[in-house]
């Protein structure tokens, strides 16, 4: 797995991408990079990853850290910044790298470009994070279709939170995606719980 790069994408906002990234980085001792951070600069996702992995993994700096919790395009516009996708360059590393997107794959980066356009450019396999809620089948399958239509490789799906076997069976059946595992509901998200979850992903096949 050394030197491989993967994108961690979600079916929407707040489905557990950062938690999944922490678990995978802990399990595989991989590097982490979030190219665009919109909002929460006082507690960035990069900072959370460092805390949850006890600072033992390499976290690469964001290309665009922005202060407003909205789409990167809207946040940049408010700050008077114009995002140049050519400056969003994946870091060089010999280690496995997990790249966490901001929001879902159709979130706008600029007036003309979406997150999915970065995925096309990089062509890294996507690890899709899904969470069981009313509507998640639709959101997950639509995301899978969008990736397939742009010829973006899908490494598989991780389900985060409460397990719903009926929903998950439908998603895997109709997407044809590989089930990579589950991150179960955590009462407290801390170093110990991340380590516990990581045990289930140490032998993940990507």
Could you tell me if residue 66 is inside a domain? no
Q: Each residue of 151-206: pLDDT tens digit?
A: 999 999 999 998 999 999 999 999 999 999 999 989 899 999 999 999 999 999 88
The catalytically annotated residue of 4, 5, 17, 34 is: 34
Asked if residue 35 is part of any domain, the answer here is no
**What does the pLDDT read at residue 110?**
95
The CA–CA distances, whole Å, from 137 to 21, 75, 115, 125, 165 equal: 22, 29, 21, 21, 12
Q: Is 77 a member of any domain?
A: no
21 in any annotated domain: yes
Distance separating alpha carbons of residues 65 and 119, to the nearest angstrom: 19
CA–CA distance, 27 with 56 (Å, rounded to integer): 12
How far is the C-alpha of 157 from the C-alpha of 178, rounded, in Å? 6
pLDDT surpasses 90 at 3 = no
**CATH number of residue 148's parent domain:** 3.40.50.300
What's the pLDDT score for residue 13?
85
Q: How confident is the model over 52-60, as a mean pLDDT?
A: 96
Q: The tokens of 76 are what? A: 């940049």
In a domain, 52, yes or no: yes
Tens of pLDDT, residue by residue over 80-138, are 999 999 999 999 999 999 999 998 999 999 999 999 999 999 999 999 999 999 999 99
HEC string of the chain equals CCCCEEEEEECCCCCCHHHHHHHHHHHHCCEEECCEEECCHHHCHHHHHHHHCCCCCCEECCCEEECCCCCHHHHHHHHCCCCCHHHCCCCCCCCCEEEEEEEECCCECCCCCEHHHHHHHHCCCEEEEEECCCCHHHHHHHHHHHHHHCCCCEEEEEEECCCCHHHHHHHHHHHCCCEEEEECCCCCCCHHHHHHHHHHHCCCCC
The answer to whether 96 and 30 are in contact (CB under 8 A) is yes
Q: Is the pLDDT of residue 43 over 90?
A: no
Residue 83 inside a domain? The answer is no
Average pLDDT, the chain: 94
pLDDT tens profile 60-81: 999 999 988 899 999 999 999 9
Residue 74 within a domain: no
What is this structure's pTM?
Answer: 0.95
* Per-residue pLDDT at 1: 58
pLDDT on residue 2: 62
- CA-nearest of 85, 93, 130, 122 to 7 is 122
- Domain of residue 181 covers 6-29+43-57+104-201
For residue 62, CA distances in Å to 43, 55, 89, 179 come to: 13, 17, 10, 29
Query: Count of domains in the chain?
Result: 1
pLDDT for 154 equals 98
Check if 131 is active-site.
Answer: no
- CA 194 from centre of chain: 16
Q: In the prediction, which pLDDT does 103 show? A: 87
Sole residue written with tokens 């909205």: 70
Average pLDDT of span 36-45: 83
Would residue 193 count as lying in a domain? yes
Least confident segment among 1-10, 18-27, 175-184: 1-10
């Amino acid at each position: 797995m050394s030197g491989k790069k993967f994108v961690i994408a979600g079916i929407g906002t707040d489905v557990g991408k950062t938690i999944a990234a922490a678990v995978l980085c802990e399990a595989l001792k991989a590097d982490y990079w979030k190219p665009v951070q919109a909002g929460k600069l006082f507690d960035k996702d990069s900072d959370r990853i460092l805390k949850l992995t006890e600072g033992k993994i390499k976290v690469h700096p964001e290309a665009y850290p922005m202060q407003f919790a909205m789409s990167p395009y809207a946040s940049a516009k408010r700050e008077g910044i114009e995002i140049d996708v050519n400056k969003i360059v994946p870091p060089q590393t010999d280690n496995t790298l997990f790249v966490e997107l901001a929001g879902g794959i159709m979130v706008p980066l600029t007036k003309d470009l979406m997150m999915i356009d970065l995925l096309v450019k990089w062509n890294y396999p996507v690890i899709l994070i899904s969470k069981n809620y009313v509507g998640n089948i639709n959101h997950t399958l639509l995301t899978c279709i969008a990736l397939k239509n742009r010829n973006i490789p899908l490494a598989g799906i991780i389900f985060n939170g409460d397990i719903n076997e009926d929903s998950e069976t439908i998603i895997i059946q109709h997407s044809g995606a590989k089930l990579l595992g589950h991150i179960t509901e955590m009462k407290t998200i801390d170093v110990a719980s991340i380590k516990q979850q990581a045990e289930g992903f140490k032998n993940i096949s990507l």
